[in-house]
């Protein structure tokens, strides 16, 4: 019997209070994953290093409490829905990457995101062959634990096959690194009995022709259902067997510290085509020939139901319309290391199509933009299906694999079954080269009748798949979703092998129990999440978690996905009449969900459905304001010039006071400042901050092209100081000089004071006041620019992003990055300095797609540029850096180490630069300072 009281006491004592969460809202929100299953964990524990892992395992063994290790929670099968304790892995220790053998191998610790591995390999021209759709969000630990594959990953190139080393810890606390001879030798000695039992299991399998042949046959295709039993047929050494059994074991056999894998050389040349066929049989006949004769990276198939769903897209190719009720399309891509090799590959494919006649033209595209547009048609399918479902439905996804020859029969059977139970809009699609079939159905998750229909679909499809020699899970892992069907796929004898294996490795059953091996025949249909309408902005969320990677608030409050989960749960509680509990959750949500959102909007850029969670948080902030607060905001907007002058004056006074007080007294005075203003103001000298300077006058040169320069209110209020505390030349003066240097006449508003784009009001949810300020500014800029004839420069990217979205399109507004490249590079001579500088692309720079151009601007000026990894938003979020400094601190927790060799940093937002200076321990200024310094 699990002793939770003792577990919590010992965990808090051995670790710290801050690492152990027992609050119901936090535990559930921190445990949510991409599956339809409701979190049931009772505790969440954060561990920062292997020593803490060992301590936690010791406590778990003593108290009988089970542990479920969590990566990024992108899995859709319920692998990370912990029964007892969810274990998270924050901190830098778990994020290390070692590139080995000139990129031919790479070692990544479990907390590294898949895309980060490929980024580390990019300079070597190599990449990781596993390529799941979640690669930009999924952790390597999770990918290894589920044996993730992906679009172009063949069976011989998955993590199981590419692995050369594994570092893991077993349930008894034993640590094994297969790349360390001494570690393996100690393990052979200390666990001789365990290894003998594994050898005996292998002998049992190899001595039974039926079991052995079943394993070999089923792992010729993609298969992530159950344990990787092919480890017994592929290897003789029990240590090798154990290491490979851990791949795909979903945390039920051990904890994966790191994995070392072989990599492949990047093939830079690609060619893509989208081809239509009149029947599925013709399409699959083409696939079989392509597999035998051609070098293909990917072949995706879309049946007629899927094509019908995609036809609503403006970019849907006209030649695929009207192909008939059995039509099928193939999306093909081949790649090569040279243009000549690519041409040969394409010629081979064309030869196949001369034999198997498609009904549409075969046009191979090599322009990367056109290739991506074709792939975007395929990528749009799931968002289309998921985005049109009812708010009380969950996008339930399944994936199966059959031998390619059986693909037509499987697809037809799937569609028949789906239509039989009313899922007429659910088509089938998938990775044709692998026989991998996907479908998604809208599950009315709280409706017993709907759940019953889905249960029948799953049961009937499972029988078809097994009958065709297939696997019930190709990519998404077993989890609770497929656990009841283990015997159907594997048979009683091999299921007994799996139970024996679990008993040998984890006899106390403390490692993620009930996930693969579960005797409840309905575990795939019970314990489901609330699916309740909240708001049309967020109702289509599929809980995939792709947004969390760029969310800066997950470590101090709730992440973007967790916010939506919490809102749905609150709505569900109210629907069930549990209003007292709903009120409690709602009060907590206001603090840790609404108030701590950075509202940067980056979550929408990662969301497959484009959901603007940040925008919804701003909407909730607006709804939370009283009429009195709104009235005060309106008054502030009308008298903004007075507030601007007061803020600038206070910063100038505070800056002088801080200089007199010295750093320690200035820091101590922060408590008094917070008590009076509600803000935590850092030592202003430490962040190089002082009050703003007066806006300069324009400079007109007869006959010269003109530019309107609008200095943002943040720049007008906040000036820069140097390391000695002396005021630096204002950014406004620098910008005017730079423009004059480039031969421009500079036009400034005669009365810039009081003008504002409304950004600071918008982030607080005060949209009426924000739009009023924007309209006021729009009128001024239209007049100054001759109704858009003259370009407008604003040095603050977040303000420009808002103006581009909301302002009259006649206003040609640019932020500094685009302005420099488009309007200054050809007019100025750049003198490149021997210097290493850091860049912080703001959220708005990222949203506008200007990160690479930002680097380009800096590389015109200096020899070395660093853009820190894993920092997407600084978390300062307007004035959040003053009111909730913990958000800024968490977002920039890895900054200082990454820029320690840089002389200074540059960005394009004055408030962001305050937080970056504070936590990077280097002065950050606007990029225009650097451009001015390095041009003549």
- Give the integer Cα–Cα distance in Å for 575 and 584: 15
Please give the average per-residue pLDDT across 179-207, as a whole number.
98
pLDDT surpassing 50 at residue 155: yes
Q: What is the helix (H) or strand (E) element at residue 864, kind and residue range?
A: strand 862-866
Q: For residue range 611-637, what is the model confidence (pLDDT) as tens digits?
A: 999 999 999 999 999 999 999 989 989
| Confidence category of residue 677, pLDDT binned at 50, 70, 90 | very low
Name the residue with tokens 């494919």: 349
- DSSP lists the bridge partners of residue 709 as 793
pLDDT surpassing 70 at residue 680: no
- Give the integer Cα–Cα distance in Å for 20 and 22: 7
pLDDT score at 674: 47
Please list, in sequence order, all residues whose beta carbon lies within 8 angstroms of the beta carbon of residue 24, skipping any fewer than 6 positions away: none
- Give the integer Cα–Cα distance in Å for 53 and 56: 5
- Give the integer Cα–Cα distance in Å for 847 and 797: 10
Please list, in sequence order, all residues whose beta carbon lies within 8 angstroms of the beta carbon of residue 524, skipping any fewer than 6 positions away: 458, 480, 481, 482, 483, 484
pLDDT score at 882: 84
User: What values do phi and psi take at 236, rounded to 5?
Assistant: -105, -40
> Comparing C-alpha atoms, which of 598, 459, 611 is closest to residue 535?
611
pLDDT score at 581: 96
pLDDT surpassing 80 at residue 669: no
pLDDT score at 551: 93
Contact 248, 146 (CB under 8 A): yes
Q: Edge-to-edge strands of the sheet including 813-814?
A: 745-747, 706-709, 792-793, 813-814
Please give the average per-residue pLDDT across 404-426, as a whole number.
91
Q: For residue range 749-804, what is the model confidence (pLDDT) as tens digits?
A: 988 899 999 999 999 999 999 999 999 999 999 999 999 999 999 999 999 999 99
pLDDT score at 82: 95
pLDDT surpassing 60 at residue 830: yes
Summary mean pLDDT of the chain: 92
| Confidence category of residue 655, pLDDT binned at 50, 70, 90 | low
User: What values do phi and psi take at 126, rounded to 5?
Assistant: -125, 165
What DSSP character marks residue 698? P
3-state secondary structure of 331: strand
Please give the average per-residue pLDDT across 427-446, as a whole number.
89
Percent of the chain at pLDDT > 70 equals 97
Listed range (356-365, 612-621, 657-666) with the worst mean pLDDT: 657-666
Q: For residue range 715-726, what is the model confidence (pLDDT) as tens digits?
A: 999 989 887 778
DSSP string across 670-696: HHHHHHHHS-----TTTTTEEE--PPP
CA 444 from chain centre, in angstroms, equals 27
| Confidence category of residue 664, pLDDT binned at 50, 70, 90 | low
Q: What is the helix (H) or strand (E) element at residue 663, kind and residue range?
A: helix 663-668
Whether pTM exceeds 0.85: yes
pLDDT score at 455: 94
Beta strands at 833-839 and 862-866: parallel, antiparallel or unpaired: parallel
What would the two tokens of residue 524 be? 């795939």
Beta strands at 97-100 and 105-109: parallel, antiparallel or unpaired: antiparallel
Please give the average per-residue pLDDT across 214-235, as a whole number.
97
pLDDT surpassing 70 at residue 708: yes
Please give the average per-residue pLDDT across 420-446, as a whole number.
89
pLDDT score at 660: 54
| Confidence category of residue 659, pLDDT binned at 50, 70, 90 | low
pLDDT surpassing 50 at residue 325: yes
What would the two tokens of residue 144 be? 């290894």
Please give the average per-residue pLDDT across 333-346, as a whole number.
96
Helix 579-589 to helix 560-575 angle (10° resolution) is 160
Name the residue with tokens 């013709």: 282
**SS3 per-residue string spanning 447-472:** CHHHHHHHHHHHHHHHHHHHHCCCEC
pLDDT score at 931: 98
Q: For residue range 485-528, what is the model confidence (pLDDT) as tens digits?
A: 999 999 999 999 999 999 999 999 999 999 999 999 999 999 99
- Give the integer Cα–Cα distance in Å for 229 and 219: 9
Name the residue with tokens 């685009």: 818
Please give the average per-residue pLDDT across 64-84, as a whole number.
95
Give Cα separations from 356 to 275, 284, 406 (angstroms): 12, 10, 18
Q: Compute how many other C-beta atoms are within 10 angstroms of the C-beta atom of residue 680.
A: 17
> Comparing C-alpha atoms, which of 872, 871, 888 is closest to residue 880?
888
What would the two tokens of residue 908 be? 């394009």
pLDDT score at 676: 43
pLDDT surpassing 50 at residue 734: yes
Contact 66, 60 (CB under 8 A): yes
| Confidence category of residue 667, pLDDT binned at 50, 70, 90 | low
Please list, in sequence order, all residues whose beta carbon lies within 8 angstroms of the beta carbon of residue 654, skipping any fewer than 6 positions away: 681, 684
3-state secondary structure of 903: coil
Percent of the chain at pLDDT > 90 equals 79
pLDDT score at 679: 58
- DSSP lists the bridge partners of residue 833 as 862
- Give the integer Cα–Cα distance in Å for 23 and 192: 43
Beta strands in 714-779 (DSSP E): 718-720, 745-747
| Confidence category of residue 391, pLDDT binned at 50, 70, 90 | confident
Please give the average per-residue pLDDT across 559-588, as a whole number.
95
| Confidence category of residue 905, pLDDT binned at 50, 70, 90 | very high
Q: For residue range 848-866, what is the model confidence (pLDDT) as tens digits?
A: 999 999 999 999 999 999 9
pLDDT surpassing 80 at residue 663: no
pLDDT score at 656: 61
């Amino acid at each position: 019997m699990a002793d939770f009281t003792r577990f919590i006491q010992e965990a808090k004592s051995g670790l710290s209070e801050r690492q152990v969460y027992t609050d119901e809202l936090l535990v559930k929100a921190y445990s949510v994953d991409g599956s339809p299953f409701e979190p049931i964990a009772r505790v969440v524990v954060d561990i920062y290093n292997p020593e803490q892992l060992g301590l936690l395992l010791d406590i778990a063994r003593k108290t009988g409490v089970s542990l479920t290790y969590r990566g990024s929670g992108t899995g859709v099968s319920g692998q990370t829905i912990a029964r007892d304790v969810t274990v998270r892995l924050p901190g830098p220790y778990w994020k290390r990457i070692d590139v080995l053998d000139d990129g031919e191998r790479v070692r990544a610790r479990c907390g590294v995101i898949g895309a980060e591995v490929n980024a580390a390999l990019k300079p070597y021209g190599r990449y990781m062959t596993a390529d799941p759709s979640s690669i930009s969000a999924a952790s390597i630990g999770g990918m290894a634990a589920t044996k993730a594959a992906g679009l172009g990953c063949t069976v011989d190139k998955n993590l199981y096959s590419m692995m050369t080393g594994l570092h893991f810890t077993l349930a008894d606390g034993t640590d094994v690194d297969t790349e360390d001879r001494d570690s393996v030798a100690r393990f052979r000695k200390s666990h001789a009995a365990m290894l003998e039992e594994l050898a005996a299991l292998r002998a049992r399998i190899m001595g039974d022709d039926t079991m052995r042949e079943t394993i070999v046959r089923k792992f010729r295709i993609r298969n992530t259902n159950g344990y990787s039993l092919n480890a017994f047929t592929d290897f003789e050494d029990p240590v090798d067997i154990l290491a490979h059994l851990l791949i795909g074991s979903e945390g039920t056999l051990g904890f994966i510290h790191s994995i070392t894998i072989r990599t492949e050389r990047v093939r830079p040349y690609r060619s893509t085509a989208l081809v239509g066929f009149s029947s599925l049989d013709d399409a699959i006949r083409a696939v079989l020939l392509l597999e035998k004769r051609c070098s293909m990276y990917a072949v995706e198939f879309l049946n007629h139901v899927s094509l019908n769903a995609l036809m609503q897209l403006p970019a849907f190719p006209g030649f695929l319309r009207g192909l008939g009720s059995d039509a099928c399309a193939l999306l093909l891509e081949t790649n090569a290391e040279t243009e000549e090799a690519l041409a040969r590959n394409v010629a081979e494919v064309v030869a196949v199509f001369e034999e198997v006649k498609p009904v549409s033209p075969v046009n191979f595209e090599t322009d990367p933009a056109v290739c991506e547009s074709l792939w975007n048609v395929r990528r749009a399918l799931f968002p289309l299906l998921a985005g049109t479902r009812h708010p009380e439905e969950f996008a339930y996804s399944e994936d199966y694999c059959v031998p390619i020859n059986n693909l037509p029969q499987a697809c037809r059977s799937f569609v028949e079954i789906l239509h039989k139970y009313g899922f007429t809009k659910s088509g089938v699609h998938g990775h044709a080269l692998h026989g991998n079939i996907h479908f998604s159905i809208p599950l009315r998750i709280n409706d017993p009748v709907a759940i019953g229909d889905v249960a029948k679909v799953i049961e009937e499809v499972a029988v078809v798949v097994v009958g065709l020699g297939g696997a019930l899970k190709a990519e998404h892992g077993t989890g609770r979703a497929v656990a009841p069907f283990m015997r159907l796929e594997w048979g009683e004898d091999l299921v007994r092998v799996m139970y024996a294996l679990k008993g040998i490795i984890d006899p106390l059953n403390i490692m993620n129990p009930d996930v693969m091996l579960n005797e409840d025949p309905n575990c795939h249909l019970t314990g489901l999440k609330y699916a309740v309408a909240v708001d049309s902005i967020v109702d289509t969320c599929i809980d995939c978690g792709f947004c969390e990677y760029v969310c800066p608030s997950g470590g101090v409050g709730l992440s973007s996905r967790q916010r939506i989960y919490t809102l749905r749960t609150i709505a569900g509680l109210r629907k069930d009449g549990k209003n007292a509990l709903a009120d409690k959750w709602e009060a907590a949500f206001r603090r840790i969900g609404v108030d701590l959102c950075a509202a940067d909007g980056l979550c929408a850029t990662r969301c497959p459905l484009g959901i603007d969670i940040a925008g919804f948080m701003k909407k909730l902030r607006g709804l939370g304001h009283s009429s009195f607060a709104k009235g005060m905001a309106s008054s502030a907007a009308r008298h903004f010039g007075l507030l601007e002058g007061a803020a600038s004056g206070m910063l100038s006074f505070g800056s002088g006071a801080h200089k007199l007080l010295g750093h320690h007294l200035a820091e101590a005075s922060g408590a008094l400042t917070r008590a009076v203003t509600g803000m935590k103001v850092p030592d202003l000298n430490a962040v190089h901050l002082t009050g703003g300077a007066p806006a300069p006058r324009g400079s007109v040169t007869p006959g010269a092209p003109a530019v309107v320069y609008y200095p943002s209110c943040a720049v007008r209020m906040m000036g820069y100081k140097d390391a000695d505390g002396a005021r630096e030349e204002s950014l406004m003066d620098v910008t005017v000089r730079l423009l004059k240097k480039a031969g421009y006449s500079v036009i400034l508003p005669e009365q810039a004071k009081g003008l504002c784009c409304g950004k600071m009001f918008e982030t607080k949810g005060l949209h009426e006041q924000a739009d009023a300020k924007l309209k006021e500014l729009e009128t001024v800029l239209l007049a100054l620019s001759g109704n858009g004839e003259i370009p407008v420069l604003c040095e603050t990217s977040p303000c420009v992003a808002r103006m581009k979205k909301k302002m009259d399109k006649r206003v040609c507004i640019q932020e500094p990055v685009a302005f420099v490249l488009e309007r200054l590079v050809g007019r100025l001579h750049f003198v490149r300095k021997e210097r290493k500088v850091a860049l912080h692309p703001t959220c708005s720079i990222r949203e506008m797609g200007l990160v690479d151009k930002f680097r380009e601007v800096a590389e015109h000026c200096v020899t070395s540029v660093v853009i820190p990894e894993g920092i997407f938003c600084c978390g300062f979020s307007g004035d959040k850096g003053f009111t909730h400094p913990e958000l800024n601190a968490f977002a920039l927790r890895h900054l200082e180490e990454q820029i320690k060799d840089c002389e200074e940093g540059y960005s394009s937002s004055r408030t962001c630069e305050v937080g970056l200076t504070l936590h990077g321990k280097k002065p950050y200024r606007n990029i225009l300072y650097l451009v001015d310094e390095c041009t003549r």
